[in-house]
Amino acid sequence: MRTALCLLIAAAAGCAGVRRSEDPIARDQEITRDVQWRLHGDARFERVLVSCKDGVVVLEGTVNDETDKAEAERVARRVTSVREVKSTLRVRSR
């Protein structure tokens, strides 16, 4: 279902890719929303909070292990218009 939704969104956006707002505040909100959408579809990242200022994404919260931490950072970096990712993600103690 999620794959079908992604394909539908990609088709609606066209081949030109994602166009970001010219307004810096709106652009940061769009980036935040996109990173949240990509992360929060995965239960591993349900405790991750996302914010963005000037194209710099900040990831806060907890994940299960170092692999999940690295994956959350990678996902955020791949979002269009992200200039940098700063992570304060903590690995949950067991």
CA distance 6 to 60: 26
Give me 38's structure tokens. 């990509």
Please name every residue paired with 86 in a beta bridge, in sequence order, or none if there are none: 58
Give me 94's structure tokens. 């067991």
Q: Which CATH topology does 20-91 take?
A: Histidine-containing Protein; Chain: A; (3.30.1340)
Q: What pTM does this model have?
A: 0.76
Contact 34, 62 (CB under 8 A): no
Which among 37, 40, 35 has a CA at the least distance from the CA of 58?
35
Give me 45's structure tokens. 């990242």
Per-residue pLDDT tens listing for the chain (94 residues): 555 545 445 544 444 455 777 888 999 999 999 999 999 989 999 999 999 999 999 999 999 999 999 999 999 999 999 999 999 999 998 6
Parse the chain into domains and list their residue ranges: 20-91
